[in-house]
Amino acid sequence: MGPRLDVDSIDLVSRYHLHSSIQQLEREGDALLTSIHVNRAGWGALCVAGGGAYYFAKTSINADRASRYEAELKKKAQLAAIEAEHRRQSQPTKAPSENPNLQRANMARFQSATDDVASPSAEAGHDPAPTRHEPETEAERVLEKGKYEAAQPFRPPRGNRLG
């Protein structure tokens, strides 16, 4: 560092220059702080404007999507109505006695005169094949097995296989 200057030893011109330099630094500092604040305000305004633009663009896009979706649903409903009308016109009208559901209901009514809904055990007796019975002979068992099914179930050999 240079020699230490005493404030009293500095002449008047030097004091003036020193004072003007300090004032200039203060002005530059104020200008710098002002530009920083202006800069922050500029960035803030830019962020707010960008956020607002994003919000309004998003709402516009969502509204457009919703309107296209509703138009698509309306179009699908119209096509379904046209197809249903076409199917209804092209199908021959069946007499009620030809309806397979009605035939099944009539058969069930004639087969069991009583209603067994309240008694599941009694209702199970009316099933055509309520359980699977094991085959009685070897020939029946072979015929029952599928092409890739083993005739004998796998049983691992006894003993310690790890030792």
Domain that holds residue 76: 29-89
Looking at the domain assignment, is residue 144 inside a domain?
no
pLDDT tens column, 25-51: 777 766 666 666 667 777 888 888 999
What b-and-e string marks burial along 32-64, b requiring 16 or more CB atoms within 10 Å of the CB?
Answer: eeeeeeeeeeeeeeeeeeeeeeeeeeeeeeeee
Looking at the domain assignment, is residue 1 inside a domain?
no
Q: What is the Cα–Cα distance from 10 to 160, expressed in whole angstroms?
A: 105
Looking at the domain assignment, is residue 104 inside a domain?
no
Whether the model clears a pTM of 0.85, i.e. scores above it, the answer is no
Looking at the domain assignment, is residue 69 inside a domain?
yes
Cβ atoms of residues 126 and 116 within 8 Å? yes
The pLDDT score that the predictor gives to residue 105 is 73
Looking at the domain assignment, is residue 153 inside a domain?
no
Q: What is the Cα–Cα distance from 43 to 36, expressed in whole angstroms?
A: 10
